[in-house]
Chains A and B, each alone.
Chain A
Amino acid sequence: MIFGSRQHAVEGLIASYVEHAQASVSCFVEGMEVWLGGAEPVADIVHGVAAAESRADDARRELCLLLYGKALFPESRGDILGLVEAVDKVPNRAEAIMRRIVSQHIGPPAPDLGEGFRALVASVEACTTAMFEGVNVLFKDHHAAVELSNRVDHLESEADRAEMELTERIFTSALEGFPKILYRDLVMDVGGLADRAEDASDRIRIIAIKRET
């Protein structure tokens, strides 16, 4: 296979992977809104998150097979495999959070805490979206990827702030001890999505900077 066709095959699989991984996070955001609304069951949404995550996994596996088949330079193979592995932690975690809400029968919080959850989910969504954009940009103009990585850092800090504010609000609320711990754990899990996005973004930055020489 000549380099050009390998390049297009790798780029196509990465674009497909990012699309499905991002769809999985979008389903997660939608699921959190449904959960916070409290009117509909969340179980159906979990299937949506899992299905998108599974499609992302398929694309990831296909990409790994292509790369293990010695497409591209060794250093690029390693970089791409490492990046995809880091990015994959985001949809995996999104799916795990939704499953946790369903399996542990965690009910929606009171409206004042609900607003805090919405703010946290919005921050996390912005952060992961910027990270996914960074992956796409890396495969279009790698010089621009560093700027996006800086934006992910900034958005992750905002998500951290939202996480801390919400945790504080949970522990100053009238909730009993056990629900407090349950919601705190959930907040940490949701906030962890931004941390994972930042980890993946750090890899994007390293890959781009390595290629500035």
Chain B
Amino acid sequence: MMWWLGGGLFLGWSIGANDAANVFGTAVASRVIRYRTAALLASAGVIAGAMLQGSAGLETLGAITPEGLGAASASALAGALAVTLMTLLRLPVSATQAVVGGIIGVSFWTGGVDPAPLARIVLCWIATPAGAMLVALALYQIYGLALRRLPISMLTRDRILWHGLIVAGIYGAYALGANNVANVTGVFYGRGLVASTEWLNFIGAAAIALGILTYSGRVMQTVGGGLIRLDAFAALVAVSAEAVTVHVFAVIGVPVSTSQAVVGGVLGVAIMRGGDLHAKVLRNIGLGWIITPILAAVIGFAGYGLW
């Protein structure tokens, strides 16, 4: 069983190592919380999210995955290889887009992909940063209004933001688990590889948690260091917007990229503050959208064809 799941589990580990930074990076980099505590909270959040609300995404990915364990496993492996290659090339990457790309690549040999759920998924990819940006615009107003109304000192304001970042981090981890577990084990949904959907959820969540616990520290410092330059309020808005957006898509049942969601949140803050929308950031999202699925599709197509 582990052999078939290998590609997916590696992808899960990679999601945990990279994407936990999007929810707890700011808090860790600014020492709101210790890395070890953040990693444990994030792991618990991911497992809770996957177990309680991860099934919808599993069904969606399962619906577009070609029949047969070999094809499912090859799709996951193609996604994992694409993520690794993109990371090595230091290019922006989305695990979701990699898995879907892998599925498309393998599907060339197995009769094609059902276009309706695929179109829904691609539409949600576009909606992720846009949605997170809109949520950030709303949260900026709501949080700002609440803080303005409170007769508090500047340090009490910091304290509220301090706790807010922890709560948003836990919620973000929950949303990450609920949404991204599908990337890990979604291709195996309905293939009879494990006894139940709950087990698929748990195995996927455990892989993500392992990535968080073993390799997310440095990424958290790097991503968090970049995010914290926004200031604590902006970081709270961006992380909350990312969490809400990713959670909404988890409920809808479409796996999306937390990195693209957090970028959308940052853009929302930038709009509220009259800042420039960095062309480089937007270009990176575009590159992630285009290169990742294409690369994964090519790997899936070539790999499954050779196999």
Report which A residues bind B (CB closer than 8 A). 3-4, 7, 10-11, 70, 72-76, 79, 138-144, 207-208, 210-213
Contacts and interface: CB of A to CB of B under 8 A. Distances in A.
Interface in B140-179: 140, 144, 147-148, 151-159, 161-163
Nearest to A75: B231
Interface in B216-264: 228, 231-233
Main DSSP-derived SS at the A contact region: helix
B273 interface: yes
29 contacts: A3-B163, A7-B155, A7-B158, A7-B159, A70-B31, A72-B155, A72-B158, A73-B30, A73-B158, A73-B231, A73-B232, A74-B30, A76-B154, A76-B155, A76-B158, A79-B154, A139-B153, A139-B154, A141-B151, A141-B152, A141-B153, A142-B154, A142-B157, A208-B154, A211-B147, A212-B148, A213-B140, A213-B272, A213-B273
A133 to B, nearest CB: 14
Nearest to B31: A70
Nearest to B156: A7
Given A70-B31, A72-B158, A213 B233 contact: yes
A142 B30 contact: no
A3 B151 contact: no
A7 B156 CA distance: 8
Nearest to A210: B231
Contacts of A211: 147, 154, 157, 233
B63 interface: no
B154 A3 contact: no
Interface of B: 30-32, 140, 144, 147-148, 151-159, 161-163, 228, 231-233, 272-273
Given A75-B232, A213-B233, A140 B158 contact: no
B153 A213 contact: no
Q: Which of A3, A75, A139 has the most CB of B within 10 A?
A: A3
B152 A3 contact: no
Max count, chain A CB within 10 A of own CB: residue among B153, B158, B163:
B153
A139 B155 contact: yes
A66 to B, nearest CB: 12
Residue among B144, B161, B231 with max Cβ neighbours from chain A (10 Å): B231
**6 shortest A-B CB distances, which residue pairs?**
A141-B151, A142-B154, A7-B155, A139-B153, A3-B162, A73-B232
A140 B31 CA distance: 24
Nearest to B165: A73
A3 B160 CA distance: 10
B154 A138 contact: yes
Contacts of B30: 73-74
Contacts of A3: 32, 158-159, 162-163
Contacts of A11: 153, 155
Contacts of A207: 154
Contacts of B153: 11, 138-142
